[in-house]
Amino acid sequence: MEQHIYHSLSEARAALDALLKDKKTLRTIAAAGQQLSDTFRRGGRVFSCGNGGSMCDAMHFAEELSGRYRLHRKGLPAAAISDPSHLSCVGNDYGYDRVFARYLEAHGREDDCLLAISTSGTSANVLAAAEHAKRHGIHVIALTGRKGSVLGDLADIELCTPAGQYADRVQELHIKVIHILIELVERELFPENY
């Protein structure tokens, strides 16, 4: 049992070490943080979406921005596309591939921003959201785990964190990137908290 625990933690550490050495991705994370800050500064909204664990990450991202991350500050207009009634309605009437794009159609505006999360970079409903966003002037930040993905190609900014064979390692890096993005926004917009 202990050898599996050691192997799992070693694999996670190796993935994080690889990300730390990837200067290009670190610069891209900084650019994404700036894009999010600029969106809020202009009075825009930030949306997030994903499936399964990535939906949980999208929800966590949005609630930390609209609620609280570290210290008290003004709530920021961020929302995860995760309302069960919306998802089931649109899934039933238009198909599950349309659930995120339809929400953006209703709520998104030019100069808003979408954080589109997909470990594979190929989730059809996340791709449809990114395509809708691009057509309507909504900035797209993609959080993926596979280089050369379709979602990455659609994005204005792609944050790709390859971390091995399985999605769980990718998701572990995704949550780290998400926390860093939130901190970058706070440092930019609420410097008094740092």
Do the annotations mark residue 119 as ligand-binding?
yes
Do the annotations mark residue 52 as ligand-binding?
yes
Do the annotations mark residue 53 as ligand-binding?
yes
Do the annotations mark residue 37 as ligand-binding?
no
Do the annotations mark residue 120 as ligand-binding?
yes
Do the annotations mark residue 122 as ligand-binding?
no
Do the annotations mark residue 171 as ligand-binding?
yes
Do the annotations mark residue 164 as ligand-binding?
no
Do the annotations mark residue 34 as ligand-binding?
no
Do the annotations mark residue 179 as ligand-binding?
yes
SS3 readout for 51-84: CCHHHHHHHHHHHHHHCCCCCCCCCCCEEECCCH
Do the annotations mark residue 64 as ligand-binding?
yes
Supply the DSSP symbol for 160: E
Do the annotations mark residue 82 as ligand-binding?
no
Q: How many CB atoms lie within 10 A of CB 51?
A: 19
Place of tokens 């921005």: 65
Do the annotations mark residue 108 as ligand-binding?
no
Residue 137 near residue 80 (C-beta atoms within 8 A): no
Task: Give the distance, in angstroms, between the CA of residue 103 and the centroid of all CA atoms in the same chain.
Answer: 16
Which residues are part of a known binding site for Zn(2+)? 60, 64, 171, 179
Residue ranges for the known binding site for substrate are 51-53, 64, 92-93, 118-120, 123, 171
Give binding residues as ranges.
51-53, 60, 64, 92-93, 118-120, 123, 171, 179
